[in-house]
Each structure stands twice: as C-alpha cells, then as structure tokens.
C-alpha cells in the first residue's frame, strides 16, 4: 500500500516547508518537492498543513473510578481522538492495591487489545510497592511500560505515602524510567473537605474551593525534592495553577530534570464554570480543579517559555445524566474527570496559533513531539521524517467549527456533554492517517476497530 500526499505545508517541531510525502506501507519513505511517483492513493493537500499526528500522553479509558466506570472505552475514546487529530495516546493502567502491577497491566491489555482506532501505550499507576513488588518494575520496563504515575492525592484510593513514593522513585531512577506525579496534597485536602462538608457545603463549586492551589504547589515542591534525592526525572501531570508552575520554574532554573504538562481545561476554562445552575458545575469536577481565570495566562506563559513542555487532555469522561449525578447531594461523590480527547488539537491551534500565543512549530512540539520524546516514542511518533510512522494530520487552517455535543464533526466521545460547548475554533483536521492508512476523511471515520497497535515504549531520553 502506498500513499502520496502532494503540495502540503509540512510542519514539525523544527521545520516548516512545502513538499510531498511518500508513504509505503506504514512508514514515510520519501519527502521532497514535486515527487512524481505512482501510488495507490494520491491526496492533494494544497493549502493544508501537514502535522505529525497528535500524541496525547494522558487519557483514562475504560477506567473504574469514583464508583463508576469512564464513559469512553478504548473503542470510542480512540475513535474520538482520531477525529480530533490525535493518533497516539498513552493511557493509564492501574495496579490494584494489594495486587501485582503485572496483573493490572494484563487487565489493561485485555481492555485495549483489538479495540483501538489508533496506536496506544500505557503508563502504570502504581499504588502498592510493598515487599518485593519493586522488582516488578524491571519487568514493566521490559514490556514497554517506562513511566509510572504516583498519586499524592486521593487517600485510600490511589494515594501513596512519601516513603513509598521515595522507594518507587529510586527504583524508577535506577531503571532509567520516568515518574509522573499527581501533585496535590490529598491528606490536607481531605481535612479541608471534611470541614466544608460538616458546614453543609455540598454543591459542585466546593470541589474547587476545597482544593487550594497552595496544596498543588506544595505537592509539586515535595515531588521535586523527593525526586532529587531519588535521582529520577519527574513529569508533573495536569498542572493547573500559577502557584504550582512557580515551583517547576525554580527547579528547571536549577537544571533539574523536571517536566510538566497542562491540559486545555486549565487554559480555556476557569472556576466560574462551577457556579453554573442546575448542577452543571459537576461537568467540570476534576482534580486538580479549574482555577481562577488569571492562572490561564500564566500557564500559556509556561508553554511559551518551555517550562511546560506538553499538553495532554486527562480525558476521563463521565456522563452528566447518570454518572456526574452520583454526587447530586454531595460534591465528594461526583466522579472526577472531564472529556476532551477529541478537542485538544483544535483548541490548542485556536488558542495557541490563531490567537498568536505560539508558533506553528511550538504547536507541534507541545501537542506531539515533546510527549513522544519524553515517553520513548520518538522518532517513530512525534514527527514527519523518513522512517517515522506515517501518522499525519492534513489540517485545514481555514475551516471553522463550533465545538458542541450536537456538532457531528466535533463530538464523537461517548458522553452526553462537551466541556467546550460553544467554543469556536478556526483550523480543523481534514484527513487523518494512522501508520499510512486514512482513518478520518472529512469528519467520517473510515478506519476499523483494531487498527491501533500497542506501543512498547523505550526509556525516556532527556529533552530541554
Ligand atoms: O479528575 C481527574 N483528573 N480524573 C482522572 C484521574 C486523575 O487524577 O488523573
Ligand atoms: Zn491525576
Ligand atoms: Zn488523569
């Protein structure tokens, strides 16, 4: 199977030029001007940008959480991702407390195998590194699971104490693996929540008001301190506030291997969403919570200055009608998480490129290249180059869409609301190829379930 994409503007994290891309089977085999070759399929990309497929390093599909299971599974979630121009996800497999991490990995393989529209890897959420469990981490690395998420939040659920965090970080450091941290001080937050609930504060907005930015910043600071002793690189997931970003900046100025991602929800949404009527604030209950609006500018500045390297979605969808309502009477019972895997690329193009905050190259870097590099997928993923997987988004910079649960072009997630309802974007994926196969054509999914493959990831290789 061969595909020739003609006359596109090829944009990577470092380059920007006009050319043709030739794909044989699953790989880019030639790039040049006026390529005159036969191909099974010829696509005219005049007036369009060619981006490397998006890499979303933070999704939760088919995940039991908050007394229910996420609305998107590997089939619906990856198909929606593809519609939005994302061709690789890294999802979070979970070690159940008291059980082997390898058992948890098997469970996630079973959930995903044969289901996905795009390629996928796994991080492992480690919850229990007692006894000889640390030795399992070597096996995980051998199986391509080269990064581990630890939680300072959610006591009694996913939380790890500092001793276990240190022990796990040390082992990860020895193996050359990466630690991803959910940095919120869950112990103090639980105290704040208990007090609020005892005072009769039950509405969704209290989810945010009981999780202060200081408790995020403190946890980021503690993560960096412990990681320094353990000699391991750390990647702070879903960074939401200026206070927390300050800690990252200090560490990076000292030259420490500290990285961070933020998410569209923290760049486009804010605390006021919790004050919506009719329990609608529950749609935005996630952790960390949405912050006061001024934090958005600081996070954008973090992306501009490379103190924040990547944008993920933390896609964790729960239906409003019958899942978010589990917390109708008490905010602590609202399942934490929001949908967004489909909207990341178009939102970041709008807020970043169209609104003049970042260059086209930086757009590619934060939506694809940096995550591929940090998580051992580069240059197979994250760029358009000879030898790379032909994961390519043919992007129409002029197409305008209004994101809505009712727009058949922008909503394929298996959830009954859009977190970005009514947001207008200019620029949208027209055609999406995954390993050389067209899977999205003008809003239509033309791939098939099971096209996606598991990605055995390499170890982290340092980036700036
Ligand atoms: O609210 C969130 N973020 N839900 C998903 C789990 C997590 O902490 O990433
Ligand atoms: Zn988290
Ligand atoms: Zn998450």
At 155-181, the pLDDT tens digits run 999 999 999 999 999 999 999 999 999
At 139-154, the pLDDT tens digits run 999 999 999 999 999 9
Answer yes or no: CATH 3.20.20.140 is held by domain 53-374.
Answer: yes
Length of the chain: 464
Q: Which residues face 394 on adjacent strands?
A: 50, 431
Q: Which of 87, 88, 94, 125 is nearest to 108 (CA)?
A: 94
What pairing do the DSSP bridges indicate for beta strands 147-151 and 119-125?
Answer: parallel
Q: Is the CB of 337 under 6 A from ligand 1?
A: yes
Q: Is the CB of 263 under 6 A from ligand 1?
A: no
**What pTM was computed for the model?**
0.98
Q: Is the CB of 60 under 6 A from ligand 1?
A: yes
> What separation in Å is there between the alpha carbon of 33 and the centre of ligand 3?
42
Q: What stretch of H or E contains 9?
A: strand 2-11
For tokens 């005892």, name the residue.
198
User: Distance (Å, rounded) from C-alpha 3 to C-alpha 135?
Assistant: 45
User: Distance (Å, rounded) from C-alpha 18 to C-alpha 306?
Assistant: 27
Q: Whose CA is nearest to atom 7 of ligand 1?
A: 287
Q: Is the CB of 59 under 6 A from ligand 1?
A: no
Cα 155 from chain centroid? 23
* Candidate from 287, 332, 341 with most ligand 1 atoms within 8 A of CB, to mutate: 287
Q: Whose CA is nearest to atom 9 of ligand 1?
A: 314
Cα 374 from chain centroid? 13
> What separation in Å is there between the alpha carbon of 338 and the centre of ligand 3?
10
Residue 131 in this model has a pLDDT that exceeds 90 = no
User: Distance (Å, rounded) from C-alpha 119 to C-alpha 243?
Assistant: 35
DSSP 8-state class, residue 122: E
Cβ atoms 73, 111 nearer than 8 A: yes
Q: Whose CA is nearest to atom 3 of ligand 1?
A: 287
Q: Is the CB of 316 under 6 A from ligand 1?
A: yes
Q: Which of 148, 141, 59 is nearest to 95 (CA)?
A: 148
DSSP 8-state class, residue 290: P
Question: What's the pLDDT at 461?
Answer: 82
Q: Whose CA is nearest to atom 4 of ligand 1?
A: 337
At 78-126, the pLDDT tens digits run 999 999 999 999 999 999 999 999 999 999 999 999 999 999 999 999 9
Q: Whose CA is nearest to atom 5 of ligand 1?
A: 337
């Amino acid at each position: 199977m061969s595909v020739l994409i003609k006359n596109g503007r090829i944009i990577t994290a470092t380059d920007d030029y006009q050319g043709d891309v030739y794909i044989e089977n699953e790989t880019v085999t030639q790039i040049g001007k006026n390529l005159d070759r036969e191909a099974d399929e010829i696509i005219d990309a005049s007036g369009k940008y060619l981006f490397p497929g998006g890499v979303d390093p933070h999704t939760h599909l088919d995940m039991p959480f908050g007394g229910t299971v996420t609305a998107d599974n590997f089939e619906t979630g990856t198909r929606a991702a593809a519609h939005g121009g994302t061709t690789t996800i890294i999802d979070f497999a979970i070690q159940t407390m008291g059980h082997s991490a390898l058992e948890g990995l098997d469970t996630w393989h079973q959930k995903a195998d044969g289901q996905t529209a795009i390629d996928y890897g796994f991080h492992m959420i480690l919850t229990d590194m007692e006894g000889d469990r640390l030795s399992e981490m070597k096996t995980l690395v051998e199986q391509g699971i080269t990064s581990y998420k630890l939680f300072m939040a959610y006591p009694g659920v996913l939380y790890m104490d500092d001793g276990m965090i240190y022990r796990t970080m040390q082992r990860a450091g020895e193996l050359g693996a990466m630690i991803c941290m959910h940095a919120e001080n869950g112990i103090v937050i639980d105290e704040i929540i208990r007090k609020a609930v005892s005072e009769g504060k039950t509405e969704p907005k209290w989810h945010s008001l009981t999780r202060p930015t200081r408790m995020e910043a403190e946890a980021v600071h503690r993560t960096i301190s412990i990681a320094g002793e353990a000699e391991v690189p750390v990647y702070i997931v879903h960074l939401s506030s200026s206070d927390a970003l300050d800690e990252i900046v200090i560490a990076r100025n000292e030259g420490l291997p500290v990285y961070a991602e933020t998410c569209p929800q923290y760049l486009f949404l804010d605390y006021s969403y919790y004050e919506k009527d009719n329990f609608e604030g529950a749609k935005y209950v996630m952790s960390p919570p949405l912050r006061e609006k001024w934090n958005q500018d600081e996070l954008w500045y973090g992306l501009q200055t490379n103190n924040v390297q990547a944008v993920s979605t933390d896609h964790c969808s729960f239906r409003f009608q019958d899942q978010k309502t589990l917390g109708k009477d008490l905010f602590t019972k609202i399942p934490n998480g929001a949908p967004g895997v489909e909207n990341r690329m178009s939102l970041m193009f709008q807020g970043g490129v169209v609104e003049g905050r970042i260059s086209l190259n930086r757009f590619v870097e934060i939506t694809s290249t940096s995550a591929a590099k940090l998580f051992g997928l580069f240059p197979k993923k994250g760029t358009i180059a000879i030898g790379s997987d032909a994961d390519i988004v043919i992007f129409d910079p002029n197409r305008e869409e209004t994101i809505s649960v009712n727009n058949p072009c922008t909503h394929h997630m298996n959830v009954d609301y859009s977190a970005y309802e009514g947001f207008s974007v200019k620029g949208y994926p027209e055609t999406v190829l995954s390993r050389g196969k067209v899977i999205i054509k003008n809003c239509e999914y033309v791939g098939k379930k099971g096209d996606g493959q598991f990605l055995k990831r390499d170890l982290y290789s340092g980036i700036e």
